[in-house]
Amino acid sequence: EVQLVESGGGLVQPGGSLRLSCAASGFTFSNYWMGWVRQAPGKGLEWVANIDQDGSDKYYVDSVKGRFTISRDNAENSLYLQMNSLRAEDTGVYYCARHGSRCFNYWGQGTLVTVSS
């Protein structure tokens, strides 16, 4: 059974940093692109970043470029999102998701990030 479990969310002040983790199990992690999607409170879904199987190819939404870094550790079956220079508008639930055929076919339960003073 595919499982994705996010952790690392919490309350952080504007300008601060946070590192999200996603522990993957039930599939061969190193065979799949992975991504992060976020959802502001009461709002819709926003794709944040994608990473290829060996971490060499990465894509970001413009609003996080230069501030967020997606990475992975295939030996640990883990996906990460390093978030720096956080802003109030980064507040929301962050989901880890596995790629399927140019889609996200498995999602984690999400971790809440709150940026506030």
Partner 1 sequence: DIQMTQSPSSLSASVGDRVTITCRASQSISSYLNWYQQKPGKAPTLLIYAASSLQSGVPSRFSASGSGTDFTLTISSLQAEDFATYYCQQTYSPPWTFGRGTKVEIK
Between 80 and 104, CB nearer to partner 1:
104
State the Cα–Cα distance between residues 115 and 105, nearest whole angstrom.
29
CB of 96 to partner 1, least distance (A): 9
In the complex, the residues that contact partner 1 under the rule CB under 8 A are 35, 37, 44-47, 50, 59-62, 95, 100-105, 107-110
Between 29 and 108, CB nearer to partner 1:
108
Between 31 and 102, CB nearer to partner 1:
102
CB of 93 to partner 1, least distance (A): 9
Measured on CA atoms in the order 109, 21, 33, 63, is the torsion positive or negative? Answer: positive
What single DSSP character describes residue 29?
A: G
CB of 59 to partner 1, least distance (A): 4
Q: Which residues of 24-54 are buried (b: 16+ CB within 10 A; e: fewer)?
A: beeeebeebbbbbbbeeeeeeeeebbbbebe
